[in-house]
Amino acid sequence: MRTILFAFLLVGPIAFAQEDPFIVRADTSWPRFSAQLAHFDSLYASSGDFFSPDSIGEAWYNHFLPVLLARLDSVQLPWKDTIHVWFRVYCLPSGEIEHAIYSSSQLYGTSTAGIFETEFAAFVRTTPFPLQAAKRYSQCGSFRFPHTK
């Protein structure tokens, strides 16, 4: 009971309608999406406050993203079109991910959306972001998933 209450207090009503408060699919409405980001951003410092742009790029593109892509490839996620997805992860100082937000207007309402969310949630629960900081931080990035032939 305490865990559920704590999760609700931390995430608040923003994710209440979501099935999983750990991962939040950003609302397609800009005002609501902006409110979601502002809520989480008030709790976490930007990764740029602790790390150089080179170390962030190295962590994102050479460590974090390739592991995510391998996971999605392992379930043979069918991309019917090239899909652009924006991500933001909210991390403990150790790099363990506490929350993740993603947004993709191209993904919403597709047959791939549910599989993607399930796999992305499992990924961020088990894969820390590969940087450590003095306090909680956030990191964002995006990727274009190519059409699957």
Task: List the one residue out of 82, 71, 65 whose CA is nearest residue 149.
Answer: 82
DSSP state of 58: H
Q: Is residue 63 part of a domain?
A: yes
- pLDDT tens across 114-125, in order? 888 889 999 999
In contact, 145 and 83? CB cutoff 8 Å: yes
Q: Is residue 10 part of a domain?
A: no
**Tokens 């150790």 found at:** 94
Q: Is residue 116 part of a domain?
A: yes
**Tokens 């950003």 found at:** 26
Count of beta carbons in the 10 Å neighbourhood of residue 33: 16
Give the domain range for residue 60: 24-145
Tokens of 137: 């931080």
Which pLDDT score is estimated for 103? 85
Tokens of 94: 């150790």
Domain count, the chain: 1
- pLDDT tens across 25-81, in order? 765 566 777 787 888 888 899 999 989 999 999 999 999 999 999 998 898 887 788
Burial class (CB in 10 A: 0-12, 13-18, 19+), 52: exposed
Three-class SS state of 140: strand
Percent of the chain with pLDDT over 70: 79
Q: What is the dihedral of CA 119, 125, 129, 134, to 10 degrees?
A: 160
Q: Is residue 111 part of a domain?
A: yes
**Tokens 């306090």 found at:** 135
Q: Is residue 17 part of a domain?
A: no
Q: Is residue 85 part of a domain?
A: yes
Reply yes or no on whether the pLDDT at 2 is more than 90: no
